Structure 1
Amino acid sequence: MVELPVVNQPVHRSGALLDHLARRIRLRAESVLAPLGLRPRHLVTLTVLRQHGGCSQQALSSTLEMDGTNVVGLLNDLEADGLIERRRSPEDRRRHVVMLTDRGARVLVKAECALAAVENDVLGALDEAQRETLYGLLQQAVTGEPVICTEAAADDSDAAC
């Protein structure tokens, strides 16, 4: 039998806990998004379009890290529901600019309110300060940059929920 070398490892590993927490949030999120006709990838797309004020299909594909063919199918779904529209680019008629419609913006706000309730349920054991700390740490892990969260900088998107 081969003995494995002892490696100094942290006592706690986060991967399994993050995966479990993500699964809990994802399952609940899917259940509240479904009545709105949305899936998580739809929500991400609508959010990106709101943040950027619209963008080309190619830029959207890059931002979403999705193959262009898959983005076209995703946009077809959203356009059929009247949540986005594709317009010819005034600079290059061969390209389309994808824009969030007014209806899309309203549905996105409803989805965000529903998701705020999901987060409140899943993260209910944490107080506000702990949630802000968790958010900052997760943001730092994703971007590699520390995030300073203050009440003034905190997202108020669920304030209307």
Structure 2
Amino acid sequence: MEESPVLDQSVRRSGALIDYLARHLRRRSESALAPLGLRTRHLVALTVLRDRTEITQRDLATALVLDSTNIVGLLNELEERHLVERRRSPQDRRRHVVSLTDDGVTLLCRAETALSAVEDEVFETLDPEQRAQLHELLVAATSAAPDSFC
């Protein structure tokens, strides 16, 4: 009979705690975004567009790790609400350039305010220094990921 390995209780594993916090944060974030008519994928797209000012549809799909069918659907949803604008590229008429509209900027600011309140709630037991340290550690941990967004 083979003996099962004994776990070293002195070694602390963080994966399960990070997963728990991520799920809790995701649920609370989705609840905060719902009244604004946004889902997480909308928020990420709007954020990328704000940070890049103007981007081709293909480059946006790459940044969001979406295929061409899904990026078209996402942009259709955002364009219907006048949050983004698509137009032909002056350099290459076969491509579309996507940019954030003023309405998109306004809604993104409202969403970020709502999400800031969610983070304040989820991380209320941490003081500002601990929250800054957590952020730094998460940036460091995710910087090695192949699709890092930091």
What stretches of structure 2 of length at least 5 have no aligned partner? 145-150
Paired-residue identity, %: 58
Indicate the structure whose relative CO is greater, using CA pairs within 8 Å and at least 6 residues apart.
2
Equivalents in 2 of 1:6, 1:68: separation in Å? 48
Equivalents in 1 of 2:10, 2:55: separation in Å? 43
CA displacement 1:62-82 (0-9 Å, x = unmatched): 111112211111111111111
Q: Partner residue of 1:47?
A: 47
Cα RMSD (Å): 1.7
| Alignment coverage as a number of residue pairs | 145
Q: Partner residue of 1:58?
A: 58
- Using the TM superposition, give the Cα deviation of residue 2 of structure 1 relative to its aligned residue in structure 2, in angstroms: 2.4
CA displacement 1:126-152 (0-9 Å, x = unmatched): 0111000000000111113xxxxxxxx
The question of 1:36 aligning with 2:36 is answered yes
The question of 1:18 aligning with 2:27 is answered no
Provide TM-score, normalisation by structure 2: 0.91
Pairing of 1:1-161 with structure 2 (within 5 A)? 1-4=1-4, 11-144=11-144
What stretches of structure 1 of length at least 5 have no aligned partner? 145-161
Say if 1:99 and 1:6 are closer, same or farther in 2 by CA, change over 3 A. Answer: same
Equivalents in 2 of 1:2, 1:58: separation in Å? 54
Equivalents in 1 of 2:10, 2:109: separation in Å? 41
